[in-house]
Structure 1
Amino acid sequence: MTSTKLPLPTGIKFVFGGTAGMSATMFVHPFDLVKSRMQLSGEGGAVKKNKTSFHALARVLRNEGFLGLYTGLTAGLFRQATYATTRLGVYTTLFDMMQSPDGQPPSFTTKILCGITAGAFGAVVGTPAEISLIRMTVDGRLRVLIGYLRFLNDCYLSCSLPLEQRRGYKNVFNALYRICVEEGVFTMWRGCGPTVFRAMVVNAAQLATYSQSKQLLLSTGFFKDGISCHFCASMISGFVTALSSMPLDIAKTRIQNMRHVDGIPQYRGVLDVWVKTAHQEGFRSLWKGFSPYYLRIGPHTVLSFIVLEQLKKLYYVL
């Protein structure tokens, strides 16, 4: 982009950000599914169905087929349409507000604070889709299209949950409707606290480590400011981000998927999840599902960046 080109309108930035996030999700959604099933495997001292991420992946492919990896995709796309769009919009707005009168960008610390704030707002808006995503990916029920221009039919395959425990949501909108009717509107924001904290940690870690990793890679002289550098910096950033945010992510996942027994919730909060998980499954279980979580964060950042840049080029061409 040259200096003679006008900046993108704010509304277009929102649309492009959401589109880029949704496009990347099409590729990394299977990692989300494996991560969710790993985090719930062995919950409450139950026998672990998935010993490793590769074991979980093999079980899905064997029992549900390749399309089983995309169970809950509508929720994943809806999450990006809400969370990613809101986060980018809020960040862009705050970034512009914090610029100096002469157009100088805000300081690195200010950028981190803007990112944390944007992540928190995005998490609040995206929590309903997040809950739907968690429940649909662990449910094991897949909705597929059979034939050309035929109605959608439910395909019941060998699932990760027993029949009596499956919720059987048809799509993200059916999930949101049933959650409201069966459990109350406020259930859509169950686990909002850990979701917000996770988003704040993720944004802070990503902004700091990605910037520093990119700077370090460029200083070696082996990289230019291009896709290869962005990919390596994203994978380094993803590792640090995953390591620091996984305990919050597993707490979020289990709270959003929990059931009430005789009116009593399975968990009382984040600390209760951590204590019970560490006691029943071991301390390292707080990082259960680390591999797919890490493999999702890095590529998702890279793919989002590539799609976003291509959309910008297309905008100026048209």
Structure 2
Amino acid sequence: MGNPTASGEVPPSMAIKIFSAGAGACVADVITFPLDTAKVRLQIQGESPASGAPKYKGVLGTITTLAKTEGPVKLYSGLPAGLQRQISFASLRIGLYDTVGEFFAAGKDPTLGSRILAGLSTGGVAVFIGQPTEVVKVRLQAQSHLHGPKPRYTGTYNAYRIIATTEGLTGLWKGTTPNLARNVVINCTELVTYDLMKETLVKNKILADDLPCHFVSAVIAGFCTTLLSSPMDVVKTRFINSTPGQYTSVPNCIMTMFIKEGPSAFFKGLVPSFLRLGSWNVIMFVCFERLKKELMKSRQPVDYAT
């Protein structure tokens, strides 16, 4: 995500990168969370058809239906877990990306291989740390108090407690395999594409290393990431939200979806996924880059004094 030393500037520290990534991700999550909720509802639609259950059509249709039938607040159900996820997950996978990439490059200019290895490493570690927050977020977004049994959870911490006591601690890491596959793809595609696009635009003097460059790079990264990760994202959502015994394994979940709903099931919620991930990328990367610059400016007097 940039080679600041090329312009003679002191590169931001790892702590600044981690903080900026976490803060930027939280801002992006707050703004785009209704899109994420709409994506989850579209992804689980058709899983267990119920008479009288609302049918969701399109992004705006899903958001409107949710707001009308369950109230506008429902669009932000699971937000606390979502913010916990960004603090424990995005801060590490994004904040550590440059540092790990430099390690794999062994002091040389970063290559495509070192960037991919960095994305794989930081994405994999972050998934294992942040998986419980993902499980709780998805289940709170998916549950409805309409036309069915009483909701399983009354809130974020109630969900953590019930999952741990009824499914064991391993229940909080349910769906780690598809989520790992999804986030490895997302991390590599998102960060490497953003990195390469930004570097290309700046080196070829098409755009300066500023807001327009960050915006274009983030949109392209969001599109590529959504397209590649959609099948794994749908499987991850279905498996995490499933009741005990509904699917015997991740492969069973995949086969059940394929047999009952066909290949198109793996691309359910693609449009809200792109709208969410694309806008999330733009907000996160713009905030991330700006925060890094501002924090570096605030450090300058101290650095000069020393």
Distance 2:90 2:205 in 1: 33
Please report the TM-score for the alignment, with normalisation by the length of structure 1: 0.82
Distance 1:206 1:162 in 2: 38
Gaps of 5+ in 2: 299-306
Distance 2:167 2:120 in 1: 31
- After the TM superposition, which residues 145-164 of structure 1 pair with which residues of structure 2 at under 5 Å, given as runs? 159=145, 161-164=146-149
Distance 1:241 1:197 in 2: 13
**Residues 74-133 of structure 1 deviation map (CA, whole Å, 9 limit, x = unaligned):** 0110110111122134424422323444xx432122111111111111111111000001
Please state how far the C-alpha of 1:248 moved relative to its aligned partner.
0.6
CA RMSD in angstroms, aligned pairs only: 2.6
**Residues 235-261 of structure 1 deviation map (CA, whole Å, 9 limit, x = unaligned):** 22222211111111111111111112x
State the match for 2:125 in structure 1. Answer: 121
Distance 1:242 1:230, change over 3 A: same
Kept in 2: contact 1:132–1:176 (CA 8 A)? yes
The higher-RCO structure (CA 8 Å, 6+ apart) is 2
Distance 1:317 1:100 in 2: 28
Distance 2:25 2:172 in 1: 22
> For 2:116, which of 102, 112, 117 is the aligned residue?
112
State the match for 2:72 in structure 1. Answer: 66
- After the TM superposition, which residues 194-213 of structure 1 pair with which residues of structure 2 at under 5 Å, given as runs? 194-211=178-195, 213=197
> For 1:14, which of 18, 25, 31 is the aligned residue?
18
Deviates more, 1:49-58 or 1:25-34: 49-58
Distance 1:269 1:128 in 2: 18
Distance 1:271 1:17, change over 3 A: same
Kept in 1: contact 2:101–2:110 (CA 8 A)? yes
Please report the TM-score for the alignment, with normalisation by the length of structure 2: 0.85
Q: Which structure is higher in helix share?
A: 2
> For 1:174, which of 158, 171, 174 is the aligned residue?
158
Distance 2:147 2:49 in 1: 16
Distance 1:206 1:314, change over 3 A: closer
Aligned residues: 292
Kept in 1: contact 2:14–2:96 (CA 8 A)? no
Equivalent position amino acid for 1:239 in 2: F
Please state how far the C-alpha of 1:61 moved relative to its aligned partner.
1.8
Please state how far the C-alpha of 1:6 moved relative to its aligned partner.
4.2
**Residues 192-230 of structure 1 deviation map (CA, whole Å, 9 limit, x = unaligned):** 011111111112222444345556767998654432333
Distance 1:100 1:192 in 2: 31
> For 2:93, which of 87, 102, 107 is the aligned residue?
87
| 1:23 to 2:27 alignment | yes
Q: Secondary structure at the match of 1:169?
A: coil
What percent identity do the matched residue pairs reach? 32
State the match for 1:285 in structure 2. Answer: 265
Distance 2:127 2:230 in 1: 16
Distance 1:95 1:44, change over 3 A: same
| 1:229 to 2:213 alignment | yes
Kept in 2: contact 1:45–1:280 (CA 8 A)? no
